[in-house]
Amino acid sequence: MQRPESSNVIGGSDHPDVVVIGGGPAGSTASTLIAQRGYRVQLFERERFPRFHIGESLIPETYWVLQRLNMLEKMKQSCFVRKHSVQFVNASGRLSAPFYFWDNKPHECSQTWQVVRSEFDQMMLQNAREHGVDVHEGARVVDVRFEGSRAVGVKLHTAEGVREVRARVVVDASGQSGLLQNKFKLRVWDPVLNKGAIWTYWEGAYRDSGRDEGATVVIQTPSKQGWFWYIPLHDNRVSVGIVAPFDYLFKGRGKHAETYNEEVERCPAVRERVAKARRVTGHFATKDYSYRSRQVAGDGWVLIGDAFGFLDPLYSSGVLLALRSGEMAADAIVDGFQTGDLSAAQLGRWGALFNQGVDRMRRLVCEYYGGFSFGNFVRHYPQLKGKVTDLLIGDLFTEKVDVVWEPMESLYAPGIEPPKAWDSGTPSEVASVKANELILPDGPRP
């Protein structure tokens, strides 16, 4: 494709139109979609791929972005496990009926994948290269350069030294390190969702067969203090992790391996599934405090993926939100180039809609932690099972799913109120000690 006219390139025609900070799914999505329109994009990733990352379960609405990225055929030809449903196990061990995506939406998009992120993210980054993105790995962006209030480029460290790159737009997809979010103190910690996780990988653990082989299973602990994810991966491996309030999981307890083993022993639904399996990695741990940014964009800059916000992983929404934010930001940037408007209002025009979608998924997460039972809800409101499934597949950016909230509230125990809004406030003394942290074990990582 012939490159569009770029007479407004700051610093001359030798500079890219866009610099993207970070090569994860959000950064690779935005850079690919912008490059598809003929603009010059440079992407700087501090690590060298493949590299470990958590967040292995996709949900069906990723299909539409993957289609735009020309990634669907690559996914179909991959060895990733096909995922057709999600299933829930309550505290007493009762298994819900599967939520089959196809039954709710009979379309190819209703089959998705369980991915090993080191492989998936590398595929996405290579796809960006194939679409003309100039990708640099081992290049750490340390600052965004401004002239007045407008971003005009980045400062980065590479093996060759320190240099600066100027661009018309800077896309921050730097992940939870949140380069611009920290620079401008934009992070708002969620007042409700403060969780931690410990997980590992098993070989030879129980797997369902047929249509259910690739299902994500969400298993509530008998104490109702937390839940396990159970995600089947290729090469006969299963990712199994415990999520619970940070204080419960980490304060006053032993090493991560000890805590994990204690929780497995207390949960028959997990213990039985891994009884004949062999653990093939050490134990990973993370503090997963949910947060969002007060704004998605400024003059000449935009935040996407975890650089904008992070939501509790209960319903596997992470990759979807990365892809959709990258897509929405890319479209706003391209339109801004075409109209000569790279203002905060233009680059962030998608923010309100995106936040509404995140709010819907967050509400479903908070309802689960508040005691919501999918089985009980469907028994009382069978006609709404499809709308709940819409939420589970990631159909978040439409008001049609909002019909479920009032019926959910009708099942509340006396005295229960709907969850607080994400921006309703976290006390400063609490916010000041929060920091997301990932602890990696020695030895092999998927």
Q: What is the CATH number of the domain that holds 322?
A: 3.50.50.60
Per the structure, the complete domain to which residue 156 belongs is given by 18-80+115-188+292-358
Residue 311 is assigned to a structural domain of this protein: yes
For residue 413, being part of any structural domain is answered with: no
Which SS3 state, helix, strand or coil, does residue 291 take?
strand
Structure confidence at residue 436 (pLDDT)? 86
Cβ(309)–Cβ(358) under 8 Å? yes
> 296 φ, ψ to 5°?
-100, -15
Of the candidate ranges 46-50, 263-267, 372-376, 412-416, the one whose mean pLDDT is the lowest: 372-376
Tell whether 195 is covered by a domain: no
Q: Residue 141: phi, psi to the nearest 5? A: -75, 125
Q: Which amino acid is at 320?
A: L
Q: Which of 8-22, 119-133, 411-425 has the lowest mean pLDDT?
A: 8-22
* Residue 127 within a domain: yes
**Residue 433: φ, ψ to 5°:** -105, 5
As a whole number, mean pLDDT of residues 98-113 equals 95
**Pair type for strands 216-220 and 41-45:** unpaired
pTM of the model: 0.95
pLDDT in tens, 125-176: 999 999 999 999 999 999 999 999 999 999 999 999 999 999 999 999 999 9
Q: C-alpha angle with apex 126: 335 to 439, nearest 5 degrees?
A: 100
- In terms of Cβ atoms closer than 10 Å to its own Cβ (0-12, 13-18, 19+), residue 48 is exposed
The conformation of residue 57, written as its DSSP 8-state character, comes to B
Tally of domains within the chain: 1
- CA neighbours closer than 13 Å in the CB half-sphere of residue 370: 20
Q: Which of 385, 351, 368 is nearest to 315 (CA)?
A: 368
Domain contains 407: no
347 domain residue, yes or no: yes
Average pLDDT over residues 80-108: 94
Q: Does 224 fall in a domain? A: no
Q: Does position 16 have pLDDT exceeding 50, yes or no?
A: yes
Helices (H), 293-384: 318-339, 344-347, 351-369, 374-380
